[in-house]
Structure 1
Amino acid sequence: MTINCNGSLINLSTPKVMGILNLTPDSFYDGGKYKNENEILKQTELMLKDGATFIDIGAYSSRPGADHISIEEEKKRILPIVSLLLDKFPEILVSIDTFRSEIAKLCIETGATLINDISSGDLDDKMLPTIGELKVPYIMMHMKGTPKTMKTLDQYDKLIIEINTFFAKKVADAKKCGINDIIIDPGFGFAKNTLQNFEILKYLILLESHNLPILAGLSRKSMVYKILNNTPQEALNGTTALNTIALLNGASILRVHDVKEAMECITLVNTYNQVD
């Protein structure tokens, strides 16, 4: 199971880590933490050193209830950082967390590698055709509504069946647009309540029916810290526990704030899986 990243084939049969670099002032865990170029470069260098295959840059907060920002503000936040990282780390594989096709196109033209879209094209009808033209890997996530409205949209009759039906349609649409490398993300925390998130985690392996890599984004989310009655800042141990379950249930990519600990999960689970 491979994806083509700038001409290099990345084998996802062995799970990989995607390190999160938020450029937003209001993200739930690290909003506003990286305020200048030195802090951004230092954090990126650490994540790469700790084993991240991808660095995922987001300039539009997707936390529940997040405020809308203009496309011009998103450009101003993200484009200089893509250039900065590629200048400092020429071999870096930059993922762009955006649901806007214009941002996706500009970032790929600047040198980014793949697009991570929380809306699977639902918030911009030009996204799928744009990705098809760019011929880059595409992460599509299950979500209902927008970051502003999704908390009120967690009603499902059969959650896993509905997510699988969603991906069946979206994958077909993407392939019609010429998108070859697709990764699916069930969207932990996006229009799902805490128990629904755990239901997805328990039955994650059922998403393998699409024969596509699965991304799990569990890092320091409310499904961790609400159950443990702590805070995002205290949720690393809980995140590690859930990342381990996700790997055992078929995850190919862990999207995380803490790369070193996620890499340790992968190493241990890989050893566990080698035992007959």
Structure 2
Amino acid sequence: MDIDVVPLWVKLVFIVSCSFPLVLAYLDNMEYLRKYGYLEPSDGRTGSLLSEEYYKEAVAKFQRTAGLPITGQMDEETRATMRLPRCGVKDTDAGTGNQARRRKRYALHGSKWRKREIAYRISEYSRKMPMSVVQFELQRAFDLWADVIPIRFVRRDYGPVDIEIKFVTGHHGDNTPFDGSGQTLAHAYFPQYGSDAHFDEDENWTVNIADGVNLYQVAAHEFGHSLGLAHSDVRTALMAPFYRGFDLNFKLDRDDIMAAQELY
């Protein structure tokens, strides 16, 4: 059939059906950039008012944080990185572009603890493993930091504590809901906001195996936030935003140690 005699409504349906997935992908990308601090919150709701230059700048900042080629283009490698499991804390210091930031790869939030003993409580446990295993893995994650800074972490089941830890799902009272199994694994607050750590109970939490999500490694990352460390743009650092999978030889990167020791 000659394209010129195809009814107008058919042409419109074809155009819309081809464009709709692209529009959805664009909106998903904007929501991701908004969620993790690269765009102002309002930009996720007013995409039609977002300039192309501002959008490219946000993409470039994300690429810098992720250690990707900085093109400002939403290419397949960038989209694939956005699909990786990661921490739910915003990359608020991502790619500021100044010399100090480039020389010092790690980032500090600016708040810290003024004490040498920090108490924590696990108020809601994971159902994926015994309580004793959760306790052991979380203490081990705290001790990873205690080995390089002069702070002691103690678990208390009663009385006042500095850090409260919960395994929760979906909306759980802090305006940063979890998204089910997949992208956002956990999040934690910086010292000035209380340092509490929340883990998404919809994840398949595991220990010492490649399957699932390794609790020890994710907890160690989140407790870095509880100490005042922001996300690093060093890909090998624990404080990089993305979960890299189970690592039998997991340890702090030099970048993590330098950040913690500058704070404490």
TM-score relative to the length of structure 2: 0.25
TM-score relative to the length of structure 1: 0.24
- Structure number, greater radius of gyration: 2
- Structure with more helix by fraction: 1
